[in-house]
Amino acid sequence: MKTFRAYQLACEFYRLAKGLKLPKPLGDQLRRAAASSALNLAEGYGRSTRLDQHRFFGMALGSVRECQAVFDLADDDVPRQLRDLLDHLAAATWRLLHPRRA
């Protein structure tokens, strides 16, 4: 999975997000959602049918959106670099569900 960009971004995001100091409920939820995004991307990547992949990539995008909601609630406690990384992850995950048409 070294060339799977969305997965690599999700792993990087998880590593950085787990060190973020937030109020306990938000921090716990962020870590769970960040891990879920990476795990669902990995599971979808391993599926053989497009329908199965789509289902797991959709769950991964839901977890990414959950992370974005945590950031909205945390407001100023989130560094811009981490917000930008999450935006890149959201875009990469969204593209898995909506590939460009030739």
The residue with tokens 């950085």 is 16
In whole angstroms, give the CA distance from residue 28 to residue 35: 11
Longest dimension (CA), the chain: 46
The answer, yes or no, to whether residue 102 has pLDDT greater than 70, is no
90 Cβ contact partners less than 8 Å away, ≥ 6 residues apart: 61, 64, 65, 68
- Report percent pLDDT > 90 for the chain: 91
Considering the entire predicted model, what is its pTM?
0.93
Task: Give kind and range of the element (H or E) at residue 39.
Answer: helix 24-45
| pLDDT tens by residue, 30-79 | 999 999 999 999 999 999 999 999 999 999 999 999 999 999 999 887 99
Specify the pLDDT at position 99.
87
Sign of CA dihedral 79, 30, 9, 57: negative
pLDDT higher than 80, residue 101: no
Ordered structural domains, the chain, with CATH: 5-97 (1.20.1440.60)
At 76 the pLDDT is 80
